[in-house]
Amino acid sequence: MSFFKRLFSSEKKETLDQGLARTKRGVLEKLSRAVMGKKDIDADVLDELEEALITSDIGVATTTRIIERIEDRTSRASSKSIELLLPMLREEIADMLENSSGDQPTDLTIPATEGPYVFLIVGVNGVGKTTTIGKLCHQFAAQGLKVTVGAADTFRAAAVDQLQVWADRTGANFVSQGQDADPAAVAFDAIQSAVAKGHDVVLIDTAGRLHNKKHLMDELSKIKRVMQKIATGVPHEVLLVLDGSTGQNALEQAKQFTAATEVSGLVLTKLDGTARGGVVIGIAEEFKIPVRFIGVGEQPEDLQVFNAMEFIDSLLPESFGSENTTS
């Protein structure tokens, strides 16, 4: 069974283009400046390119890798024409992202499971966990899949209500024990209910937590442990949600969170309305954990499977075109 490929790879390019418009404009402006008045790719251009990539939130480590590759290629190439810069940049980033995902597919393929396929959604406060769950509910429902959500963010009453609104809107089975309930007990209930109803997917919402709060990280372990009393192999996916508009902070959060707990996939939200979308490239390259989904708006349909090639296509044109400031 491969739910996600069918779900998300349809005509989403326009949404992606729109969502990434600000990042693209920023990157292109910087790149145009880097090549301005230049005919050939030289040391100056590479310096400027390096700065352009770093200030586009791609990250220092990833930028260094990209620059090294381009330097190497240019030094061996017969033509150093500036026209070759964008195509080369696209190729090198694409190649890097393809290799960095290892044997992990960039689209989320769901193997057939005994019972429902269970997602545990984690991350700090306000990054878009609950909204991502709502979007997933919407898209699963559109495919005729039966979805159960568990309100294991029991820290604030409003969190429970917010999830219920999404469940009502999308027809998902809503499982809650209200505020202050034990999150692990809610997760247990949700899976039990999904099994009883023969549901396909379970999405467990959790309270925002910082990686350095040990008791809150322990609570995640407890949720997982208790879940396993009712079904083997759950959760199938632990998705860490990161706010892409925070740029390098998102990268730092990913580093610390993945060190503190086991994470199987990443979600980058709020890529719309930010110029910092380049961080997705840095994160996809740096972590051996696949970026599963990206959020490009607040509407239910504004969630996409992350595909490196599509992402690069929306971010970098093949030539400067009308924006070409060189002669």
Length of the chain: 327
Q: Residue 100 or residue 314: which is nearer to ligand GDP going by CB?
A: 314
Q: Which CB, 22 or 90, lies closer to ligand GDP?
A: 22
Instruction: Pull the structure tokens for residue 231.
Output: 């079904």
**Partners of 202 in beta bridges:** 118, 148
**What does the per-residue mask of binding to ligand GDP show for 137-176, with x meaning CB under 6 A?**
------------------x---------------------
Contact call for residue 129 and ligand GDP (CB under 6 A): yes
Number of amino acids touching ligand GDP (CB under 6 A): 24
- Report CA torsion sign: 263, 269, 271, 275: negative
> Among 100, 101, 130, 307, which residue sits at the site for ligand GDP (rule: CB under 6 A)?
130
Q: How far is the CB of 115 from ligand GDP (least distance, A)?
A: 26
Query: Tell me, what amino acid is at 160?
Result: V
Query: Which residue from 237, 262, 296 is spatially nearest to 12, judged by alpha carbons?
Result: 296
The owner of tokens 């992350």 is 306
Confirm or reject binding of residue 26 to ligand GDP (CB under 6 A): no
Q: Which stretch binds ligand GDP (CB under 6 A): 33-41, 118-126, 138-146, 168-176?
A: 118-126
130 scored as a contact of Mg ion (CB under 5 A): yes
Mask for 84-123, x = binds Mg ion (CB under 5 A): ----------------------------------------
**How far is 59 from 280, CA to CA, in rounded Å?**
10
Closest residue to ligand GDP: CB criterion: 295
Taking the least distance from each CB to ligand GDP, the nearer of 82 and 151 is 151
Site string for ligand GDP, 176-215 (x = CB under 6 A): -------------------------------xxx---x--
Residue 279 within binding range of ligand GDP, rule CB under 6 A: no
Q: Name the nearest CA neighbour of 264 among 128, 140, 110, 116.
A: 110
Residue pointed to by tokens 């779900």? 7
Q: How far apart are CA 322 and CA 324, in angstroms?
A: 5
SS3 269: strand
- Tell me the closest approach of the beta carbon of residue 184 to ligand GDP, in angstroms: 13
Decide: is 206 part of the binding site for Mg ion (CB under 5 A). Answer: no
Instruction: Please report which helix (H) or strand (E) contains residue 181, including its range.
Output: none
Would residue 321 be called left, alpha or beta, if left means φ above 0 and alpha means ψ between -120 and 50 degrees? left
Residue 153 beta carbon to Mg ion: minimum distance, rounded to whole angstroms: 5
Find the binding residues for ligand GDP in span 37-76 (CB under 6 A).
Answer: none
216 near ligand GDP (CB under 6 A): yes
How far, in Å, CA of 143 to CA of 171, rounded? 12
CB within 8 Å of 302: residues ≥ 6 apart: 15, 19, 135, 272, 295, 296
Tell me the β-bridge partners of 286: none
Query: Does position 297 bind ligand GDP by CB under 6 A?
Result: yes
Provide the binding-site residues for ligand GDP, judged by CB under 6 A: 123, 125-131, 155, 207-209, 213, 216, 241, 269-270, 272-273, 295-298, 302
